[in-house]
């Protein structure tokens, strides 16, 4: 089809599977002697492509969860008697980049979410229950961010659909339901009432939460991809390179698709705290610039006791 219409440039935007497609097109064109320039354009909220500092899409989903996590905290503050524990279930098959972004909601020590769990750290039921119980005894309420791809020590998903119809074209199981499982666990073991919120795909398409930084970088990445293709480059992906210094700045480069396609960049262990139940300062420093400008201002009323009369 490409030969028939004399298509010479193949630019594909996406994540791991899309970068593999770009690589295969590059190899196919070379092996068949057809002049085709194949360039990968990073675009995934999962933020799990190697070589690049981060991926367009991640800054916006990070902003979405920073705002949603804080909103969930204020909601739980207001009605924690009927809903003591709230679980926020985020997207993320194998990595916790999206889940970790909920930690951006914390602006003070006890802000929600008080607990964050990612797939890179094996889920331990007893530790989880101990964490929830500790926060509950201190605050009387708990907000927890968990990844849909949470795994136990054996590497098994905490929950996953077994239906054949819930498998995509690449053989990946459609995940979901971990929030429900954990709600049942908390009720059974701790006797606390809990509920979960699962936004689903809205978290990757809510333009009302789009990061200005993310939007600009997405545009620049697309422009760089076109320039590379026109310059005769092929078998590469555009990369975002964070520059040193206190002020956030980036430059754009390239990475070989053989070092990116079908590979995964996990959330670094140093981006989580020592206990493995919340993000670290290193993650906050990494992610805050990507989420764009300041979050909408919220206030807390000072509690002033009225003297008895």
| b/e per residue 180-204 (b: at least 16 CB within 10 A) | ebbbebbeeebebebebebeeeebb
User: 3-state DSSP call for residue 279?
Assistant: strand
* Cα 143 from Cα 211, distance rounded (Å): 24
- Integer angstrom CA distances of residue 290 from 40, 266, 284: 21, 18, 10
* Cα 59 from Cα 293, distance rounded (Å): 11
User: 3-state DSSP call for residue 232?
Assistant: coil
* Cα 224 from Cα 241, distance rounded (Å): 13
And the tokens for 240? 């975002």
Catalytically annotated residue among 46, 48, 94, 131: 46
46 is catalytic: yes
266: number of CA atoms within 13 Å, CB side? 10
- Catalytically active residues are 46
């Amino acid at each position: 089809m490409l030969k028939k219409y004399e298509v010479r440039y193949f630019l594909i935007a996406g994540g791991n599977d899309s970068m593999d497609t770009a690589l295969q097109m590059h190899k196919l064109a070379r092996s068949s002697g057809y002049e085709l320039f194949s360039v990968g354009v990073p675009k995934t909220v999962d933020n799990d492509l190697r070589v690049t500092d981060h991926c367009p899409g991640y800054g916006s989903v990070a902003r979405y969860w920073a705002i949603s996590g804080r909103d969930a905290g204020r909601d739980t503050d207001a009605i924690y008697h009927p809903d003591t524990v709230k679980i926020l279930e985020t997207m993320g098959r194998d990595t916790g980049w999206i889940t970790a972004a909920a930690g951006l909601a914390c602006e003070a020590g006890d802000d929600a979410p008080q607990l964050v769990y990612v797939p890179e750290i094996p889920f331990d039921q007893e530790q989880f229950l101990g964490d929830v119980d500790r926060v509950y005894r201190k605050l009387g309420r708990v907000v927890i961010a968990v990844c849909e791809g949470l795994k136990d020590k054996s590497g098994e998903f905490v929950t996953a659909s077994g239906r054949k119809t819930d498998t995509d074209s690449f053989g990946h199981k459609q995940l979901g339901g971990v929030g429900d499982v954990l709600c049942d666990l908390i009720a059974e073991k701790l006797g606390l009432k809990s509920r979960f919120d699962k936004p689903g795909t809205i978290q990757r398409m809510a333009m009302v939460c789009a990061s200005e930084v993310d939007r600009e970088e997405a545009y620049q990445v697309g422009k760089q991809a076109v320039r590379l293709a026109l310059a005769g480059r092929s078998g590469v992906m555009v990369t975002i390179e964070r520059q040193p210094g206190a002020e956030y700045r980036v430059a754009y480069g390239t990475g070989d698709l053989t070092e990116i396609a079908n590979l995964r960049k996990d959330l670094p262990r140093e981006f989580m705290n020592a206990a493995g139940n919340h993000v670290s300062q290193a993650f906050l420093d990494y992610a805050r610039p990507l989420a764009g400008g300041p979050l909408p201002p919220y206030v807390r009323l000072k509690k002033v006791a009225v003297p008895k009369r």
